[in-house]
Amino acid sequence: MKLRKAMQAISSILRKHNVGNFLLESTIIAAYTLKKDDLFVLSNPDLEINQTFFYNMLKYARRRVYGEPLAYITHKKEFMGLEFYVNKNVLIPRPDTENLAEEAIYYIRNYSLKNILDLGTGSGAIAISIEHFTHATVIASDISYKALKVANINKKLLKSNIYLVNGNLLSAFKSNFDIIVSNPPYILPSEFNSLSKEVKNEPKIALLCDQNYFLIQNIINQSKNIAKFLLMEIAPNMSFFLEQISELVCIKQDYSGFDRIAIFRF
Ligand code: GLN
């Protein structure tokens, strides 16, 4: 069977099941199955592939149709120009969160900050990118061992010098940090049903906070004692609440104009 035919079959399955980017995704699935890059796949439509490859492509397409995010199938996601390993135990790094990493890098450079904590690091994407671009000392913590395993894989893959720590919020830390960066879970339980089926496949512990934002308040209160700055990703509808609870907050927009980062200077 020719690769062209296999890809047509895959993209038509994806299209029928409303996978938005069906052409791109069928290319990525073919490339992943053949262990080649997208360019190879696109430039070799006449390649003869065997049945096993085709069955594997069908298997991945089926998982995708059931709502599994593509990044969990290929175990790859690009963030800040670096390629991260991901699995179902971590949130998939989002382009939105690049705003947070870029802002942190700006603060670190501008204020010559040295000691950084990434709270709730997940895949390690924020911590590793910050360390990569600034060479500051970066500690990355998470309550989930399974997430820390992924962060450790990325640390090795990307030859990063971040330090990984297991802990619940800031309880593991007595020392002071110049800056705490965090993309905490901030989706309200009442908002869960409105999420896409892909997002519903991501770990709830990384997505959902409590209905009263107690978790977010805890992060702010605990950071106050041990950090100069807290940079936190937020949902656009959280700014009003944050402005009510702290006069120290300054809200920044992302490139689409949505409130996206809360900056606290303590
Ligand atoms: N921004 C993510 C989403 O809407 C959620 C990330 C988070 O809760 N920190 O899917």
Going by alpha carbons, the residue nearest to atom 2 of ligand 1 is 207
Alpha carbon distance 195, 64 (integer Å): 16
Name the packing angle between helices 125-134 and 145-157 (round to 10°): 30
Cα separation, 76 vs 194, whole angstroms: 26
pLDDT tens string, the chain, 266 residues long: the values are 999 999 999 999 999 999 989 999 999 999 999 999 999 999 999 999 999 999 999 999 999 999 999 999 999 999 999 999 999 999 999 999 999 999 999 999 999 999 999 999 999 999 999 999 999 999 999 999 999 999 999 999 999 999 999 999 998 888 799 999 999 999 999 999 999 999 999 999 999 999 999 999 999 999 998 999 999 999 999 999 999 998 888 999 998 999 999 999 99
Are 265 and 223 a contacting pair, CB within 8 Å? no
Q: Are 180 and 138 in contact, with CB atoms under 8 Å apart?
A: no
> Does the CB atom of residue 185 touch ligand 1 within 6 A?
yes
- How far is Cα 145 from Cα 116, in angstroms, rounded to an integer? 21
Q: Which CATH homologous superfamily contains domain 80-265?
A: Vaccinia Virus protein VP39 (3.40.50.150)
By most ligand atoms within 8 Å of CB, the mutation choice from 91, 258, 259 for ligand 1 is 91
Question: Ligand 1 in contact with 215 (CB < 6 A)?
Answer: no
Pocket flag, ligand 1, residue 208 (CB < 6 Å)? no
96 lines ligand 1 (CB under 6 A): yes
Distance from the alpha carbon of residue 91 to the mean position of ligand 1, in angstroms: 8
What is the position in ligand 1's atom list of the atom closest to the CA of 209?
A: 8
Q: Where are the domains of the chain?
A: 3-66, 80-265
Our answer on whether the CB atom of 122 is closer than 6 Å to any ligand 1 atom is no
